[in-house]
Amino acid sequence: MGSEVSEFEFTEDQVVPYFRKRLGVVTSKEELLSLVKRAAPIRVLKEKGRNVYPYTISSREQVDTWSRELIEEGAISSVYIDDAYFVPTEDLPTYSSVLSRDRALGELERSMLEELSEPRTPQELAEGLSIASDKVYPALRKLEATGAVGRVLYHDGKWSYRRREVERRPRQEALDEVLLRHLECFAPATAEEIAYFFGLDDAEVRQVLDDLSQEGRVAKGHFLVSEHEQYMLKRDYLRLKTNDLKAYDHRTVERYRRSKLERVFPTIEALFDHFGDLGMPLDAFYRVDGFQLKDWEEMRRSGDLLLGRFLRGRVRYVRARDAPAYVAAYRNGPLRPLDLRVLDVIRSCDEGMSLRQIVPVVGASKEEVKESVDRLDRNMYIVRRFEEREEWSSENVYLAYDAPPYEGDPFRAIVERFLRVHGPVSIYTITTATQFPLAQVAAVLDTLDVETISVGESREEMYLFKDEMDALRDAPSPSTGMRVVSLYDPSVQSLWASIAARYGDRWIFPIIADGRLVGGAEKWNMSGCIEIRELDLEDPALLPQALEALDRFMAFYSMMGFDIVRLRELLDTAPQDVPEDIEKVLSEHGYVRMGAMFAKGSMVLDRHPWEDVLSFILWKQHIDPKRRFTNVVEAIKTVGGLRSDAAAALRCKNRIPLKKMFEMGFLVRVQAIPDYVTYCSLEFASLCRRAKDREITDDMAAVIQTIAENKPLSRNQLFDRSPLGHRGTHDALKALNSATITYVDQNKRVRLVPPIALSATEARKEIVRHCFRNFGLFTAENLARFMRFELPMKELRNTLAELERDGFLAKGFLVEGDENVYWVVREDLERIGKVKITEKFVLGPEDALHTYLSERIRQDLGGSYHSLVMDGPRVVGSFWGRIKATDMMVQNFKGEGEARLILNRYLRSLGLTVRVADNVPTIPDWEVQAFYEKTHPGEV
């Protein structure tokens, strides 16, 4: 027998006391509830099989009283195996999902269910249904077995039953949990023993236990004398094997780490109290309750939150009050003379400077300046300025950073925080993360109140604060579901090797499920939407959860004005080639296939050819004989402003030269929005002034005061009376003109554009409405270009979203063959495709419509100075032109006879003849200027 016993790893003397101690001894009602939680399912009120009495030292009567109270209070609930057992009520969905049986219910069982809306004893059921008592008990057992009925009271030796509805969990997930809980207190055990106790199939239980063994959560082997393999928790196996109660398996350690890394904080401040530094605001979104991007941006804008290379050269967000510790720990080496010059240049500009701006000022080569900026950056002498659209791909603008001295030991502070956030960790993990020498880290650990534990079969030594030991032992399994996270997310750091092996150095957003890498998404911010160029998953069955994770991901980007997501490729398949079952899953989650993409979000599904869209734009622009304005004044009221007589001629039946109307006082000439010199009404000029909302410098304020005190005055008078001198007054007046605060009237006197009673936000919103009323539709990027980037892109997107919520705008992929999202006036949606424009005309660079189309013109013709010959929405020709006294020299003309005919008709309407010069490759800049001056009388 001795040789057989030697084959088993442990003796009963080792194992039985170990697990008996875990069950404990009950001396109170609270301890009885705790026992049920540990040992469930377990019998109460019956001394048979697995029951609570062996673990109590109180009297049988006292234990029964506690049991009845726990049942009546709803703290414990019954489940049925071969008899009634009890489990904690909060765990009832788990046990019911495993133990409930499917049973065909007859008429009697259905009648009893109706009666059991209130607690009933078997006798009361028999009387209420007028049936024999011996029929009630079998029916109740059947209902208990299905989980539809539970025991809720016990009085005078009689049970009362009541109908219940229990939410079911996925069976496989629930079975994993039931078996793991069983092994907490009743191990080692064979699959056959566990299956017999729970009334489950042997093969199913063995398969689940083997799977848990593969995952490292359960150990399998011959632990005590038995014919069959036995199972116990890996943690318990390691402790018994090493005789070390501080031994833990990797799974338990990782579970505890995740509980710390994925916990939720009440505020951004509390989040930084814990982590110290973060890589992206997305990381905060998942961890701050009710996260609002505006709160994060306000911290950046105020300087409370800095962005720089604070962590051993890595770009991180750090609070200003925490930054000195990082500087003291990681700043090294003296600055070189060039570094000091570059730093002085950056410091001289309060608004900060980019590398592109620094190079010409310093006078050194770009490569030398770049290296110097990098040294300053890595040593934290500079930080990144807050930008409204703060992304890694945007140009860095640097500000000088003077770190206050740090009071204390920075190395200790950083190691202590790292251990608090990531522990348990080995000393080598700490040195790798902090880049501090091993001896220095060891010295710091000696000063901290830490405990060492051994992890895994290799008994790797890891450190943890002593006050966390209880939490490590009782760590729950955090379930955050599936997430699409950044590469900088704290929970991703331990997965870098897996990510690199799978995706190389690609910029992807890992997809994590319960601490495990299950896929990745290649994400880009595009025109009006978030584009997922590739969605990769290890198992196609995970697609529903991945799409739900993508919805949560998009909740963050909706704060930036993005509420449409499009998929370019998923599971290595182009959208047009995905199988029907995959397309069905996408459809169920709200995705619509639109050509070579799947899209989801707040959008209309209309799509139109570009010619139909351009016809609609021409219709909105009144380039249609039926929609022309009666005169220029009427046109100005609608379009806001006109830049040339040619633009007026296209839209007005009767016209007077704009310069003449200006001289008559009907119009003013200002730098409007977009900031070209424009003829407009004084009311529109006031709207532009408020929308620009430029900061008034002291010099600008002085000039405004001079104009206000002296009423309108000529430029010479203004220069004479200004306290700033000629140069200062010139610069201030230029800034005031650009801000649409001043203008020169028909008598060449400088006047102030009157302010209006609107907030800047409402004025900008009205300008955006005005653009849409005149052009019908825009992409976000084209609107920004058209407005000459007067509004930051983030504010522009927010304005578009607000107008969409107001019902004024709708959006979608409106143009066939165009991947951009277009916003359109909602009430105009039905007009696209129905309005047809046949007007033949010439469109020059002086027209706002040409500005609107400039990006398409540049792409199609290689430059945006081309005039277009149009036949309705079709471009039939293009040219560069030079106007002389009575004719125009047309150069680089492209087009057929139809285009020449349209051009000749247009020139005759202006009283000009045409001369064509072929094979002229370029037009000198002065000739372009001459053409502009001829078609923009009085503007230059």
Domain co-membership, 492 together with 372: no
Domain's final residue, options 127, 157, 175: 175
Domain's final residue, options 434, 457, 492: 434
Q: Does the pLDDT value for residue 933 go beyond 80?
A: no
Domain co-membership, 595 together with 641: no
Q: Does the pLDDT value for residue 709 go beyond 80?
A: yes
Domain co-membership, 286 together with 403: yes
Residue 198 CB partners (closer than 8 Å, separation 6+)? 81, 98, 99, 178, 182, 205
Q: Does the pLDDT value for residue 3 go beyond 50?
A: no
- What is the longest distance spanned by two Cα atoms in the chain? 122
Total domains, the chain = 5
Domain co-membership, 406 together with 267: yes
> Closest Cα partner for 359 from 369, 371, 372, 350?
369
Which strand ranges, in their side-by-side order, compose the sheet holding 840-843? 840-843, 867-871, 874-883, 887-895, 913-917
* Residue ranges with strand state E in 251-384: 277-278, 305-311, 314-319, 353-354, 382-384
Confidence band (pLDDT; 50, 70, 90) for 884? low
Q: Give the CATH number, domain containing residue 329.
A: 1.10.10.10
Q: Which residue matches tokens 């002296």?
A: 710
> Closest Cα partner for 677 from 744, 771, 622, 772?
744
Coil vs helix vs strand at 7: coil
* Residue ranges with strand state E in 637-688: 641-642, 668-671, 677-680
Domain co-membership, 262 together with 411: yes
Q: Does the pLDDT value for residue 8 go beyond 90?
A: no
Report, in this order, helix, strand and coil percent for the chain, each rounded to 5.
50, 20, 30
Task: Identify the top-confidence range among 430-434, 680-684, 814-818.
Answer: 680-684
Structural domain including 38 reads 4-100+166-175
The structure tokens listed for 317 are 């967000």
Pairing of the two strands 305-311 and 314-319: antiparallel
Confidence band (pLDDT; 50, 70, 90) for 886? low
Tens digits of residue pLDDT in 627-643: 999 999 999 999 999 99
Q: Which residues pair with 273 in a beta bridge?
A: none
Tell whether 33 is covered by a domain. yes
Average pLDDT of the residues in 49-60: 92
Coil vs helix vs strand at 479: coil
Tell whether 878 is covered by a domain. yes
Tell whether 204 is covered by a domain. no
Which strand ranges, in their side-by-side order, compose the sheet holding 305-311? 277-278, 314-319, 305-311
Measured CA to CA in angstroms, residue 725 lies from 211, 268, 667, 719, 814 at distances of: 85, 50, 31, 7, 55
Confidence band (pLDDT; 50, 70, 90) for 236? confident
Residue, of 459 and 175, whose pLDDT is higher: 175
Q: Does the pLDDT value for residue 136 go beyond 50?
A: yes
Confidence band (pLDDT; 50, 70, 90) for 242? confident
Residue, of 628 and 710, whose pLDDT is higher: 628
> Closest Cα partner for 549 from 285, 801, 280, 271?
285
Please state the φ and ψ torsions of residue 809, each to the nearest 5 degrees.
-120, 155
Average pLDDT of the residues in 653-676: 93
The structure tokens listed for 102 are 């499917």
At residue 882, the pLDDT reads 60
Average pLDDT of the residues in 792-803: 90
The mean predicted confidence, pLDDT, of the chain is 90
Measured CA to CA in angstroms, residue 638 lies from 614, 622, 660 at distances of: 20, 10, 20
Domain co-membership, 512 together with 552: yes
At residue 500, the pLDDT reads 85
d(CA 617, CA 614): 5
Tell whether 90 is covered by a domain. yes
Tens digits of residue pLDDT in 282-323: 999 999 999 999 999 999 999 999 999 999 889 999 999 999
Signed CA dihedral, 131, 132, 138, 141: sign only: positive
> Closest Cα partner for 846 from 868, 863, 862, 861?
868
Confidence band (pLDDT; 50, 70, 90) for 363? confident
Average pLDDT of the residues in 450-460: 80
At residue 918, the pLDDT reads 52
Confidence band (pLDDT; 50, 70, 90) for 885? low
- Of 244-253, 315-324, 650-659, 930-939, the range with the lowest mean pLDDT is 930-939
> Closest Cα partner for 863 from 850, 873, 876?
850
Tell whether 904 is covered by a domain. yes
* Percent of the chain with pLDDT strictly greater than 90: 71
Tell whether 107 is covered by a domain. no
Confidence band (pLDDT; 50, 70, 90) for 925? very low
Question: Do residues 546 and 532 make contact, with C-beta atoms less than 8 angstroms apart?
Answer: no
In one-letter notation, the amino acid at residue 508 is I
Tell whether 293 is covered by a domain. yes
Domain co-membership, 574 together with 688: no
Tell whether 242 is covered by a domain. no
Average pLDDT of the residues in 582-592: 96
Coil vs helix vs strand at 154: strand
Q: Give the CATH number, domain containing residue 512.
A: 3.40.630.30
Tens digits of residue pLDDT in 347-361: 999 899 999 999 999
At residue 393, the pLDDT reads 55
Measured CA to CA in angstroms, residue 29 lies from 38, 68, 474 at distances of: 14, 10, 21
Domain's final residue, options 759, 781, 813: 759
Angle of CA points 176, 177, 181, to nearest 5°:
120
Confidence band (pLDDT; 50, 70, 90) for 390? low
Q: Does the pLDDT value for residue 905 go beyond 70?
A: yes
Confidence band (pLDDT; 50, 70, 90) for 930? very low
Tens digits of residue pLDDT in 196-235: 999 999 999 999 999 999 988 899 999 998 889 999 998 8
Average pLDDT of the residues in 609-619: 97
Domain co-membership, 301 together with 418: yes
Q: Which residue matches tokens 């961890």?
A: 287
Q: Does the pLDDT value for residue 547 go beyond 50?
A: yes
Domain co-membership, 570 together with 685: no
Tens digits of residue pLDDT in 487-511: 999 998 878 878 888 888 888 999 9
- Of 4-18, 161-175, 248-262, the range with the lowest mean pLDDT is 4-18
Domain co-membership, 646 together with 724: yes
d(CA 576, CA 275): 44
Domain co-membership, 587 together with 685: no
Confidence band (pLDDT; 50, 70, 90) for 921? very low
Task: Identify the top-confidence range among 52-56, 232-236, 309-313, 769-773.
Answer: 769-773
Helix (H) or strand (E) holding 355: helix 355-362
Domain co-membership, 661 together with 586: no
Average pLDDT of the residues in 411-433: 92
Measured CA to CA in angstroms, residue 548 lies from 245, 258, 272, 487, 578 at distances of: 41, 21, 28, 20, 19
Signed CA dihedral, 138, 143, 146, 152: sign only: negative
Average pLDDT of the residues in 243-265: 86
* Residue ranges with strand state E in 713-786: 713-714, 742-744, 749-752, 777-779
Helix (H) or strand (E) holding 109: helix 107-115
